[in-house]
């Protein structure tokens, strides 16, 4: 059975019948224990069912793609995994990379308490594989590699269950773990620790996929990288990095790009020194500092340092030879078909709650908003004196508390997610790269349990649909959506078909699917909802402000400053 395609606004009758054949259970029935030979050894997984289809999925969890980054491996590039003897069990969820479990628990809570939190360990460079059971070695199914979100400080490969996407899309899904926080991104700003270890991890994972995915039924010549939030930033980073050349063939970026303000640390030594000092590794020598950190015996000591919840990338000269914006301007990127977009309420609830100002948005003064915006706008080279123009553009003379909250949410989303994404897409488009853009607009019915009525398509709201949440057997899965309405089941089927069609052909259009024009000079994009439609020039007025009006105001301010300086020199 090929890619599942549906038309109309309701799930077709035979799908409803299949839902009766495969009733909801706590876990999918294990039919057999599939085994596959990799270049490092043999692995034994498990087989699961998916609601609404008779296609079974082979699941392999916790396959190492690199050695545990311990001791000398801390703050170093990943080293190839070592072979093993006998058959390695790959049927249970692996440990998550070292992270603050309190924050991870908070993420779990806001997602209705779903998904078990697994143990944490530095021995975490693993990947999970979900493959259609009939996709035997050499079957050549498209491969979709997924990078989880979590601000580069929390998250796990097991957070996203790829079984429904693999079954309905007839693709091989690979979810990847990478080092987080300071363990993933500490840099001394010199040759001793250039940084970007987490980015190097995902390159190593893609290299493993090239050499090993064929026995799982995947095609190493048809690899699509994809991710959300921080994972989406990783996707766009790989598109720009020379280290990723030839490792993928299409890209999907959901709600984030690497050019997002404040992600780049231009002076990483300061943070590294503070982190080392907190662990008793005070030294002005990078070599001595790293030697001390690598000898740190207990993971708990690192976890207790809350600075580990910080992660910034650097220009290391290897993964990033130059700043991402420079690479874009100079057209130094991999020209692959690109699908990208965001949700219509990115700062609706999840991010403001995580950042600690969810309940304050209606009361924030313009001065407080100015203080919140300053570090982000400094990254965009906006002088502090010009920032009030931005606040006036969005908030103006608004006094109504609800309207103020809405305007502030829109400002944050435009500045941190939408403007960078649209600028990134324009740079690719100018070079002739095929681009398909979307805005996800549906408020999931599951939001009623925990999120206020005014929250629309919040950050991450699309994931339960594109991963087939309504059809996951394991209801403890983070994205399981058993309460999905019939309309939402149809939306999930459509999105899975679009995403896997893009992975297969580089184009999300197909028989029975909504028309999705490329993001050309007309700025066409797809508004994704149960009643999808094609839109034009997404947020045109706001983007005009950021790309035309604001630069003109900055230039005017700069000219005024030059004039004052000239008068002062007379």
Q: Give the confidence band of 369 by pLDDT, cuts at 50, 70, 90.
A: confident
330 part of the active site? no
CB 146 within 8 A of CB 162: yes
Amino acid 380: pLDDT = 82
Q: Which residues contact 298 (CB under 8 A, 6 or more apart)?
A: none
Q: Which of 439, 459, 477, 527 is catalytic?
A: 459
459 part of the active site? yes
Looking at the predicted structure, is the pLDDT value of residue 136 above 90?
no
Q: What is the mean pLDDT of the chain?
A: 88
Looking at the predicted structure, is the pLDDT value of residue 29 above 60?
no
Residue 527 lies in a domain: no
| Burial call 341-353: b when 16+ CB within 10 Å, e when fewer | bbbbbbbbbbbbb
Residue pLDDT, tens place only, 498-540: 999 999 999 999 999 999 999 987 899 999 999 999 999 998 9
Q: Which CATH number fits the domain that encloses residue 143?
A: 3.40.50.1820
Amino acid 11: pLDDT = 35
Residue 361 phi/psi, 5-degree rounding, is -60, -35
Domain range enclosing 286: 13-337+441-507
How far is Cα 544 from Cα 517, in angstroms, rounded to an integer? 22
Residue 57 lies in a domain: yes
How far is Cα 503 from Cα 526, in angstroms, rounded to an integer? 17
Q: Which of 226, 286, 346, 442 is catalytic?
A: 346
Q: Give the confidence band of 15 by pLDDT, cuts at 50, 70, 90.
A: very low
CB 414 within 8 A of CB 347: no
Amino acid 367: pLDDT = 84
Strand 533-536 relative to strand 524-528, pairing: antiparallel
How far is Cα 564 from Cα 280, in angstroms, rounded to an integer? 49
In percent, the amount of the chain with pLDDT more than 70 equals 89
Total structural domains within the chain: 1
Looking at the predicted structure, is the pLDDT value of residue 379 above 90?
no
Mean pLDDT, rounded, for 206-216? 98
Higher confidence at residue 11 or residue 436? 436
Residue 445 lies in a domain: yes
Q: Give the confidence band of 7 by pLDDT, cuts at 50, 70, 90.
A: very low
CB 316 within 8 A of CB 412: no
Question: Which strand (E) or helix (H) includes residue 338?
Answer: strand 338-343
Mean pLDDT, rounded, for 207-222? 98
Alpha helices in 260-312 (DSSP H): 268-278, 286-294, 299-303
Across the chain, which distance is largest between two alpha carbons, in Å? 87
Residue 110 lies in a domain: yes
Q: Give the confidence band of 300 by pLDDT, cuts at 50, 70, 90.
A: low
Mean pLDDT, rounded, for 376-394? 88
Residue 303 lies in a domain: yes
Q: Give the confidence band of 371 by pLDDT, cuts at 50, 70, 90.
A: confident
Residue 296 lies in a domain: yes
Residue 54 lies in a domain: yes
Residue 524 lies in a domain: no
Q: Give the confidence band of 106 by pLDDT, cuts at 50, 70, 90.
A: low
Looking at the predicted structure, is the pLDDT value of residue 17 above 60?
no
Amino acid 20: pLDDT = 31
Q: Which of 131, 159, 229, 425 is catalytic?
A: 229
Looking at the predicted structure, is the pLDDT value of residue 261 above 90?
no
229 part of the active site? yes
Mean pLDDT, rounded, for 167-188? 96
Amino acid 304: pLDDT = 61
Looking at the predicted structure, is the pLDDT value of residue 148 above 60?
yes
């Amino acid at each position: 059975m090929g890619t599942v395609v549906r038309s109309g606004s309701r799930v077709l009758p035979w799908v409803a019948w299949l839902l009766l054949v495969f009733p909801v259970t706590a876990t999918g029935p294990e039919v057999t224990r599939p085994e596959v030979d990799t270049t490092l050894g043999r692995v034994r997984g498990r087989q699961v069912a998916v609601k609404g289809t008779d296609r079974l999925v082979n699941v392999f969890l916790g396959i190492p793609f690199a050695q545990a980054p311990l001791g000398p491996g801390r703050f170093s590039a990943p080293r190839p995994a070592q072979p093993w003897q006998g058959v390695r069990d790959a049927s249970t969820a692996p440990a998550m990379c070292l992270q603050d479990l309190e924050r991870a628990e908070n993420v779990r809570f806001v997602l209705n308490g779903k998904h078990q939190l697994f143990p944490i360990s530095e021995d975490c460079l693993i990947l999970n594989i979900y493959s259609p059971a009939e996709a035997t070695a050499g079957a050549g199914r498209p491969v979709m590699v997924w990078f989880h979100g979590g601000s580069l400080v929390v998250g796990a490969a097991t957070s996203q269950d790829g079984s429904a996407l693999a079954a309905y899309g007839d693709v091989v899904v690979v979810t990847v773990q990478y080092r987080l926080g300071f363990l993933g991104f500490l840099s001394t700003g010199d040759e001793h620790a250039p940084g970007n270890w987490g980015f190097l991890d995902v390159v190593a994972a893609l290299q493993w996929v090239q050499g090993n995915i064929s026995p799982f039924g995947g095609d190493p010549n048809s690899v699509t990288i994809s991710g959300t939030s921080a994972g989406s930033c990783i996707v766009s980073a790989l598109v720009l990095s020379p280290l990723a050349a030839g490792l993928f063939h299409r890209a999907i970026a959901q709600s984030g790009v690497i050019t997002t303000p404040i992600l780049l640390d231009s002076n990483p030594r300061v943070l590294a020194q503070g982190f080392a000092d907190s662990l008793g590794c005070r030294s002005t020598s990078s070599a001595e500092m790293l030697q001390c950190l690598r000898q740190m015996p207990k993971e708990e000591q690192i976890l207790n340092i809350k600075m580990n919840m910080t992660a910034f990338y650097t220009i290391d000269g290897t993964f990033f030879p130059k700043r991402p914006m420079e690479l874009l301007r100079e057209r130094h990127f991999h020209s692959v078909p690109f699908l990208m977009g965001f949700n219509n309420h990115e700062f609706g609830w999840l991010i403001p709650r995580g950042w600690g100002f969810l309940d304050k948005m209606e009361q924030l003064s313009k001065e407080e908003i100015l203080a919140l915006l300053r570090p982000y706008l400094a990254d965009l080279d906006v002088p502090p004196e010009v920032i009030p123009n931005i606040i006036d553009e969005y908030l103006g003379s608004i006094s109504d508390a609800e309207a103020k909250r809405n305007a502030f949410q829109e400002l944050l989303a435009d500045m941190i997610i939408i403007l960078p994404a649209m600028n990134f897409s324009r740079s690719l488009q100018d070079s002739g790269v095929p681009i398909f853009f979307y805005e996800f607009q549906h408020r999931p019915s599951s939001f009623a349990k925990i999120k206020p009525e005014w929250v629309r398509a919040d950050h991450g709201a699309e994931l339960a649909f594109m991963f087939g949440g309504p059809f996951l057997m394991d209801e403890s899965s983070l994205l399981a959506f058993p309460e999905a309405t019939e309309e939402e089941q149809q939306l999930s089927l459509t999105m899975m078909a679009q995403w896997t069609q893009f992975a297969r052909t580089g184009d999300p259009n197909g028989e029975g699917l909504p028309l999705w024009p490329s993001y050309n000079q007309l700025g066409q994009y797809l508004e994704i909802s149960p009643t999808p439609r094609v839109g034009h020039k997404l947020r045109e007025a706001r983007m005009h402000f950021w790309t035309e009006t604001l630069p003109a105001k900055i230039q005017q301010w700069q000219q005024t400053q030059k004039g004052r300086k000239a008068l002062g020199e007379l």
